[in-house]
Amino acid sequence: MISTLFWLLDELLNLYIWAVIIAAVFGMLASFGVLDTRNRTVWSIGDFLYRLTEPALRPIRNILPNFGNIDLSPLILLLLLQAARMLLGRIAIVIITGSMQYLL
The CA distance from 41 to 44, in Å, is: 5
Contact 2, 96 (CB under 8 A): yes
Name the amino acid, one letter, at 102: Y
Per-residue pLDDT of the chain (104 residues; tens, 9 = 90+): 778 899 999 999 999 999 999 999 999 999 999 999 899 999 999 999 999 999 999 999 999 988 888 889 999 999 999 999 999 988 888 888 887 776 66
Burial group, residue 63, by CB count within 10 angstroms (0-12, 13-18, 19+):
exposed
